[in-house]
Structure 1
Amino acid sequence: MNAGEELSSRTFGNEERLPRVPLPTLDETCERFLEWCGPLLTADERARTESALASFARPGGPGRRLHAALERYEAGEGVDSWLDTFWPYRYLGRRDRIALNANFFFLFKESPEGQVERAAGLVAGALDYKLRLDREEIPPVVQRGRPLSMAQNRYLFSTTRIPGAEQDTVRAPYTAEWPGPSDARHIVVLFRGNMIRMDVLGPDGRPHTLGELRAGLAAVMKAEAAPEPSAGHLTTKARAEWAASREALLALGNTKALDDVETALFCVCLEDFVPPNPLDACDHLLHGDSANRWFDKAVSFVVFGDGTAGINVEHCGLDGTTILSFVDALLSESPEELSRRSGARSQGLPVVEAIEFTLDDALRRDIGDAAAAFAAYGAATATATVSFDDFGTESVKQLKMSPDAFVQMAYQLAHKRAKGRVGATYESIATRQYRNGRTEAMRVVTPEALRFVEAMDDPAAGAGARRDAFRAAADAHVRRARECQAGQAPEQHLWELQLIQKRRGAELGVTEPLPLFQSPGWLVMRDDYLSTSSAPSVNIRYFGFGSTSEQCIGVAYVLLPDRFNVYLSTPRPVADAMLEFADRLREAVRELRELLA
């Protein structure tokens, strides 16, 4: 957008005027790639990577042809970004299970309300948001005077990921198949393996009152035990296997049942137990009992027996920043005020109807196997929380340092002390200032970070040398984060060139194997030891996701002015190292505060 140009107040009013994601030149990307992977490589690994990179980027070589194809694609009619094809492949192309591996969660702030009251309040707030979104009255998010893309908001309601044999698809409003906002009037409530369709909007589109929503949810909780095992278990399967199961469901005449679930505005999962602590609540938000989930649904609220609540989100169309804005809107005002603003009016008890799937013995076995496999997979994931009540962004700012750089360097120090090495670290950087912008993949390990970690455990280094190393590492971190925000990062660019070869290699005359994508630099840089992402909001206590590889610790953090909460997850074989990392993190934060003070 041009300086001085007036911003639209309509939700999607600025989308066309947002700048496009910059496409780096191939030479810029190659230079950055070597710089980013270099600190993780031995001299021999670096030499082999340099050789593979030179072959890839040589004049007339495969990299040049693939990049030229990407430039032509970006200049094409109707293309918003050179990443338009990348994102669907990145998320919809993954073939393993999305439950626990891709979906993420937020644990909401505490509330005095009981289960039915809390759930009804969340439904009322979500309906207010949906109706305002339909009218484009949700104000566009503006950061430092620049509007951010609001396009992801189109995937909040009635959006469901549909499994496919080769690649998944998305069933959603605002599409050619379903133009404009969702006209669905129902949600799906899950309780004790039952799936219940509940109409929350009347025939004229006006929401039911809070009292009526509570009565409808209370009626759902009186339902008899489900006569058949829950088809929700199937959403935990690897994607191609789930696609085959879905075909089997359709073959048995379950089109309407699937329609009810897939077109529902969102899911509300009511749990019939009280989590003993926040960690247990987080674990159930991340995976939980799959009889009570439909993991392909974009948005699922989960409410426990005591009113503790959170959200599980399918990631393909939604990133954390969009969900945070949504959650803030739901939790920053009272349910009564949100219900009043939505135009809710009394119209009797909501229509409540069981969604029943017709199953045969083969599908019952399939569901049973999926349930057992996912329960085992959840049990094979170790988790922990680390909470600091006396430390937050205010403390770091007083030390004259970037809060994110501070905690990221604390992670590096804690990991080195816990596992004896610095490993590849991913950090998600939001790029919503661009048209259809999502995130950029930042790699945290820099030469300065390595020097900092070494200095901290070098008996010969005094406090001054350690302080200098810490500040240099933090400054390098901030510089790299800014590069990522400006779209100047190598990984997604190179990955998309690899995917272009996969899709169009024969047509472009690039059929030979590309050594770059088997080089130590490419493999080591992307083999996460830490996968990190932050979600700052006073309305959530914890944020979390699964780890991304066999040795990886997922690090999801909520960094606020007065507190810092971290949820960790890792495969159970490395649980001891994760717990050691948690202890070392507490130690590192204390030590680094003292060092700067």
Structure 2
Amino acid sequence: MNSSQEWSSRTFGNEERLPRVPLPTLEDSARRFVEWCAPLLTSAELSETEAAVAAFLRQDSPARKLHAALEEYDASPEVRSWLDTFWPARYLGRRDRIALNANFFFLFKESDLRQVDRAVELITAAVGFKQRLDAEQIPPIVQRGQALSMEQNKFLFSTTRIPGAEQDTVRTPYSDEWPGPSQARHIVVFFRGNAFRLDVFGPDGAPHTPDDLAAGLHSIIKSGAVRADRETSVGHLTTKARAEWAASRQALIALDPANAEALDTVETALFCLCLEDFAPADTQEACDQLLHGDSGNRWFDKAVSLIVFEDGTAGINVEHCGLDGTTILSFVDALLAGDPPEPGESQGLPASEPVEFVLDETLRADVLAAADAFSAYAEANATTTVSFEDFGANRAKQLGMSPDAFVQMAYQLAHKRTKGLTGATYESIATRQYQNGRTEAMRVVTAEILRFVDVMEDPSTSAAERRAAFRAAADKHVARAKECQAGQAPEQHLWELQLIQKRRGAELAADEPLALYGTPGWLVMRDDYLSTSSAPSVNIRYFGFGSTSSRCIGVAYVLLPDRFNLYLSTPRPVADEMFRFADKLREAVRELDELLASE
């Protein structure tokens, strides 16, 4: 395929024609794993790791049988990617809370519209997108002549994560249980902890006009004027650890048939709209509210929740199991394109009704406990924003540098100056050019980065030496990113072998413990000090997510041609280090800019 003209114009028309994610050999993944973890280890730790890798690669190692099973799976006719089992296990298998820990948000560009008009604009655009998606009229994305997988778009509407005792499931259209696009006509609107069903399509399937929808939202705001008692807003339960939420959900269903109907209404809704009764004081408060907010006014299991504040500030909270940032960026770009569909004829006030749960004393106490626990958890999360109005991707390119490599080097320098060490750093790399492609896990720290940071911290080095070390580290970063983009990365491969052993080790006669997974290399490489991800779109101001460990700083960044915005998050006990990192990052970007400019 050489040009976009050769690709199908139907949304899902290219899925079978995309290349498959390459399955690395055991030897390649082992070699890369050692290379990736080595810069983070002492010589003794590296020796221990290398010995375990050598045992892992023995011809009689269980790893050989596990890899053979993965090869067999990859060759199955119904399988599009060897990662098809990995992704559900990775996302749906996590047992902690997903609210704040896994869901992510985007803060949309500013608008002059007030709350109801902004919400109507977003609903109308989303409904128009769904209609085009159902008809496969959303053009497939083609980058550099290569079509990308559009499969994730199937999870934008009427998709809800369902808690399970051991692993969650997903209720979604385009599935065996629910073939084809969703036929749901409604969304769920939250206001002051009250939930309402609102039809956005009329009885004949035609979308309601903007004026109809505005009338519907005004009616809901009036009906929900009295804030719900905290212990009755069931959305709080979606913040619980997954097995605990699964038990609460079963208790709801067992108590009264009305609860199964209420859950069905929420779970089949096209998406959630969360209306807030206040305006955020500033950008950071807007971001924080998009990340967690009042959990009584959310349903964190819903794939898409559009959130609109009283002053029209708006954004999105996304459940991550089926959706990555690149898909949501395209969706948001479409929502904010300012190209609304032609309105049809008014059908009058859209049908709406409260979504009500029957709760006994035990469930009320459960809801209240979940609300209190999440409020405390959100309070224990520290955040800040960093904005560069005078630096962006164009400036990095003027300096002869990959924009992403430039900012990643700045993160490393700032982190060393903050904490006195170079710690494991994760970066998400998109791989949607493959069938069912999602992301690859890139570990940023290289030997070249260690040298770059050391040279920058040594007052005796010359500007020329610093530039050379900077460019060498950046070049290595770009090369590794390209490898990851091409599916040549070790972590997810080795992780999936570990998961296969847990699932099928006894059946495959491959249940002997593998020392690799207890090595310093495996444990240190994956214990993030920085967890980074990029979301470049002119339609969003900030992107954000929670940190991934007790000492990690989550670094979500929007790097545009003319500006660079970051949202940082970390547990409150180490908040001072995050604020220092923010200050050091401002210094590092300026310093590195001046270093290259002086060439």
| Equivalent residue, structure 2, for 1:450 | 450
Q: How does 1:483-502 map to 2 (within 5 A)?
A: 483-502=483-502
| Equivalent residue, structure 2, for 1:280 | 285
Contact 1:535 1:557 in 2 (8 A): yes
Q: How does 1:136-535 map to 2 (within 5 A)?
A: 136-224=136-224, 225=226, 226=228, 229-252=232-255, 253=257, 254-333=259-338, 337-340=339-342, 344-535=344-535
Q: Which one-letter code corresponds to 1:349 in the other structure?
A: L
Question: What is the Cα deviation at residue 495 of structure 1?
Answer: 0.0
Contact 1:155 1:172 in 2 (8 A): yes
Provide the secondary structure at the position in 1 that maps to 2:531: strand
Quickly say closer, same or farther: Cα 1:592–1:84, change in 2 above 3 A: same
Q: Runs of at least 4 residues of structure 1 off by over 2 A?
A: 1-5, 224-228
Question: What is the Cα deviation at residue 464 of structure 1?
Answer: 0.3
| Equivalent residue, structure 1, for 2:117 | 117
Q: Please give the root-mean-square deviation of Cα atoms over the aligned residues, in Å.
A: 1.0
Q: Which one-letter code corresponds to 1:247 in the other structure?
A: Q
Question: What is the Cα deviation at residue 2 of structure 1?
Answer: 7.4
Q: Which one-letter code corresponds to 1:48 in the other structure?
A: E
1:423-460 Cα deviation digits (max 9, x unpaired): 00000000000000000000000000110000001011
Q: Which one-letter code corresponds to 2:286 in the other structure?
A: A
**Bigger shift: 52-61 or 492-501?**
52-61
| Equivalent residue, structure 1, for 2:584 | 584
**Bigger shift: 507-516 or 540-549?**
507-516
Provide the secondary structure at the position in 1 that maps to 2:506: helix
| Equivalent residue, structure 2, for 1:22 | 22
Quickly say closer, same or farther: Cα 1:201–1:112, change in 2 above 3 A: same
Contact 2:4 2:145 in 1 (8 A): no
**Cα distance between partner residues in 1 of 2:203 and 2:178:** 19
Provide the secondary structure at the position in 2 that maps to 1:441: strand
| Equivalent residue, structure 2, for 1:62 | 62
Provide the secondary structure at the position in 2 that maps to 1:197: strand
1:133-175 Cα deviation digits (max 9, x unpaired): 0000000001001100000000000000000001000000001
Question: What is the Cα deviation at residue 205 of structure 1?
Answer: 1.4
1:172-194 Cα deviation digits (max 9, x unpaired): 00011111000000000000010
Contact 1:161 1:296 in 2 (8 A): yes
1:510-558 Cα deviation digits (max 9, x unpaired): 2222111010000000000000000000000000000001110000000
Q: Which one-letter code corresponds to 1:311 in the other structure?
A: I
Structure 2 unaligned blocks of 5 or more: none
Contact 1:209 1:339 in 2 (8 A): no
**How high is the TM-score relative to the length of structure 2?**
0.98
Provide the secondary structure at the position in 1 that maps to 2:333: helix
Q: Which one-letter code corresponds to 2:215 in the other structure?
A: A
**Cα distance between partner residues in 2 of 1:354 and 1:241:** 26
**Cα distance between partner residues in 2 of 1:475 and 1:444:** 12
**Bigger shift: 377-386 or 224-233?**
224-233
| Equivalent residue, structure 2, for 1:130 | 130
| Equivalent residue, structure 1, for 2:543 | 543
**Cα distance between partner residues in 2 of 1:509 and 1:48:** 26
Q: How does 1:40-59 map to 2 (within 5 A)?
A: 40-59=40-59
1:7-31 Cα deviation digits (max 9, x unpaired): 1000000001000000000000000
**Cα distance between partner residues in 1 of 2:514 and 2:185:** 51
Provide the secondary structure at the position in 2 that maps to 1:442: strand
Q: Which one-letter code corresponds to 1:493 in the other structure?
A: H
What is the percent sequence identity of the aligned residues? 73
Quickly say closer, same or farther: Cα 1:129–1:4, change in 2 above 3 A: closer
Instruction: Give the number of equivalent residue pairs.
Output: 592
1:300-342 Cα deviation digits (max 9, x unpaired): 0000110000000000000000000000001111xxx4141xx
Q: Which one-letter code corresponds to 1:122 in the other structure?
A: L
Provide the secondary structure at the position in 2 that maps to 1:449: helix
**How high is the TM-score relative to the length of structure 1?**
0.98
**Cα distance between partner residues in 1 of 2:213 and 2:380:** 38
Q: Which one-letter code corresponds to 1:236 in the other structure?
A: T
Quickly say closer, same or farther: Cα 1:2–1:499, change in 2 above 3 A: farther
**Cα distance between partner residues in 2 of 1:133 and 1:338:** 15
Provide the secondary structure at the position in 2 that maps to 1:97: coil
Quickly say closer, same or farther: Cα 1:401–1:171, change in 2 above 3 A: same
Question: What is the Cα deviation at residue 80 of structure 1?
Answer: 0.5
Contact 2:4 2:146 in 1 (8 A): no
**Cα distance between partner residues in 2 of 1:80 and 1:146:** 17
Question: What is the Cα deviation at residue 3 of structure 1?
Answer: 7.5
Q: Which one-letter code corresponds to 2:340 in the other structure?
A: L
Contact 1:207 1:345 in 2 (8 A): no
Q: Which one-letter code corresponds to 2:205 in the other structure?
A: G
Contact 1:430 1:440 in 2 (8 A): yes
Question: What is the Cα deviation at residue 204 of structure 1?
Answer: 1.8
